[in-house]
Copies of this chain bind each other. A is one copy, B any other.
Amino acid sequence: MGKTRLEAFSDGVIAIIITIMVLELKTPHGGTWDALAPLWPVFLSYVLSFVYVGIYWNNHHHMLHAAHQVTGSILWANLHLLFWLSLVPFATGWMGENHFEPHTTALYGVVLLMSAIAYWVLQQRIMATQGPDSALAKAIGRDWKGKLSPLLYLSGIGLSFLHPGLAMAMYVGAALIWLVPDRRIERSLASHHGT
């Protein structure tokens, strides 16, 4: 019933989040490469966050597609997810401007972790309105990506204080496992099992 409007609102918020992040790329004074060079860390942070918000939009899209109805608790679980995603631009900007200092990469991981938890909560609320044999429950399956990524974020938070580069490796790795198309992996797993 109200699913269209929930999607439209989420799309709006996610579209704005993904776009205002670019405002952290503040135009430098001076028109030379030298003036541009200090922006590299901000740019790289932007690329990673763009990919993350893109992944969330993509998954959100598929998850809501499988939802049948929108209850009050789904509405609020959705807003809760949007809240944490709305902090991504801030965490990205802080990390980029401070050249991946330990505290900033840790905070970035916290925002990723909280977003992942909020996504999981939303997923649970949607599945609660459906039976355990629903299409969504089947599509999610064992949800190894959903279980592995929080561990990577947690590792990243801890590793930040050892070496921020290790933390970033965790965050990039978690993004990559979401980017690799699901179906091929599942099919290859299926064909292995089939033989």
A residues sitting closer than 8 Å to B (CB atoms) are 1-2, 5, 7-9, 11-20, 22-25, 27-33, 36, 47, 50, 54, 57-58, 61, 65, 72-73, 75-76, 79, 82-83, 86-87, 89-90, 93-95, 97-99, 101-104, 107, 179, 181, 183
Whether the Cβ atoms of A181 and B72 lie closer than 8 Å is: yes
Distance A50 CA – B90 CA, assembled complex (angstroms): 15
Whether the Cβ atoms of A24 and B22 lie closer than 8 Å is: no
Kindly identify which residue among B18, B73, B99 contacts A13, using a CB–CB cutoff of 8 Å. B18
Whether the Cβ atoms of B101 and A32 lie closer than 8 Å is: yes
Whether the Cβ atoms of A98 and B30 lie closer than 8 Å is: yes
Contact A22 B104, CB 8 Å, known A7-B5, A83-B50, A98-B31: no
Distance A1 CA – B72 CA, assembled complex (angstroms): 26
A58 to chain B: closest residue by CB: B75
Distance A33 CA – B73 CA, assembled complex (angstroms): 34
A21 to chain B: closest residue by CB: B86
Contact A94 B19, CB 8 Å, known A2-B65, A5-B11, A86-B50: no
Whether the Cβ atoms of A33 and B103 lie closer than 8 Å is: yes
Closest approach, in angstroms, between the C-beta of A141 and any C-beta of chain B? 17
User: What residues of B have a CB within 8 angstroms of the CB of A61 in the complex?
Assistant: 2, 5, 75
Distance A16 CA – B90 CA, assembled complex (angstroms): 16
Whether the Cβ atoms of A87 and B31 lie closer than 8 Å is: no
